[in-house]
Structure 1
């Protein structure tokens, strides 16, 4: 009898805490996403076919496993929070400079004007559509391929950092330092005394999309146990850098390119990319501050691999955003 009561108690626990099955499949959810991509960004059928093939080859890329993901906010709730609704983020000046919607010019406001920018960065995590959930479960290689498919490229680490800190500074990669760890340590030492976040000079809770939580079933990770419990992109208008870039803290962490030699810089036109650099923080940071996330901080060599490796890292809280070189 005691064993029976224990079994029933365990079943009750699982009933309360196990996610309910959802009827929507990943493929169905991605079809909605593909329609948004084509419509919002004006992608051609050929571009969309490339994007579809990358998603289908993976079998995991999307906005999270629909069966277990529990988003803390809906797109409609996001639109109600955003001044002017989601369309309020569409800046005509930036569109003229960058040649696409929802991109921000990268430049140094202390020395330059927006029109001086030589590159732009997505204002939001891919699919770069406000009030839409970010794409996750994507490897660095797949992120680079998707960016190329939509006419962009993966950002170099210094571009992401400049977008966050509010000023694009010259690259600081410390080539020839001897190791990835040494490169990052020297860079962090240089900027550590002047650290800042996109919204200011001190870390604050409640400003960014960082108050969600892990699934009860999520241990170390896993597609069938960890929901991608993200917020819609741009749902925290205060989580914005001086250059107009959103969600670099909270929501999804992001793949970037860390060049180890000058010929691996995507911003210099190279297709020979370096190693992965996972930037920013993710959706539980207000509850669990897992690591530093100030703008120019470079992470230790976590899940390190060449960007174009077939086995580069993917997980439930890791996404990406794209950059674009402009003439």
Structure 2
């Protein structure tokens, strides 16, 4: 043993020992275009509203909330941007829930769940809006004037007719156009721009498909509130989605 120690010292002094290899970097839990959403989701959050108008709350008492069961642990990777998950790209709309599922599956992902989406939007402090406690009309794309739609044209069997009506109604913005519209986890445009398909988490909803986040003409949109009215075959001019996947093991 003493001989081995002396030999190592002599070799080191002579420069014969190779330089130590750098420590390997820990593997990231998520791909570069996704962010890790990890924490506890509470099914019900109660807050004190301090500015209520038109049937909606626009401001909540900061820092004060109560949570109720059920509590669900969440650990998932979520697309940073709305599909196609590229900064500066227009979000894709007019896809059915089942079509959005296929797009995510083709990318090795899945649709986000309702609980994953809510936690990603609220952060660990259960914020009512991704950026804080009071609605900020300039933070996200939520203040565009409503344009009347033609249900007949949107439901047409002719793709060109549907596309023309969608284009007439379109008021979405490229992903990332609103830098302040970012959640505590770093997810962009969860509120406003386009409504997003999610996989239903609450058993009382009638369909396995639900919608979150409102769209460009819904100024009261926040992190809570689920549109549970539409089944998997529904599609609409302001509905998009983003993908999730299970996160890698903790490093």
1:1-327 counterparts in 2 under 5 A?
A: 96-98=28-30, 100-108=31-39, 118-167=75-124, 196-214=128-146, 218-220=149-151, 222=154, 223=162, 224-227=164-167, 228-259=170-201, 275-286=208-219, 293-299=221-227, 301-303=228-230, 305=231, 307=232, 312-327=233-248
* Secondary structure of 2:135's aligned partner: coil
Which is strand-richer, 1 or 2?
Answer: 2
Q: Is the 8 A contact 1:214 1:229 kept in 2?
A: no
1:240, distance to aligned residue in structure 2 (A): 0.5
Question: C-alpha deviations, 1:84-140, integer Å up to 9, x for none?
Answer: xxxxxxxxx9x9220x2321101139xxxxxx9731111110000011100000000
Q: Mark the runs of 5 or more structure 1 residues left unpaired by the alignment.
A: 1-92, 110-115, 169-193, 262-273
Change (3 A) 1:225 1:322: same
1:249, distance to aligned residue in structure 2 (A): 1.1
RMSD: 2.7
Question: How high is the TM-score relative to the length of structure 2?
Answer: 0.63
Q: Mark the runs of 5 or more structure 2 residues left unpaired by the alignment.
A: 1-24, 41-72, 155-161
1:200, distance to aligned residue in structure 2 (A): 0.6
Q: Is the 8 A contact 1:156 1:258 kept in 2?
A: yes
1:260, distance to aligned residue in structure 2 (A): 5.7
* Secondary structure of 2:189's aligned partner: coil
Mapped partners of 2:225, 2:127: distance in 1: 8
Mapped partners of 1:210, 1:200: distance in 2: 15
Aligned length: 177
Change (3 A) 1:213 1:195: same
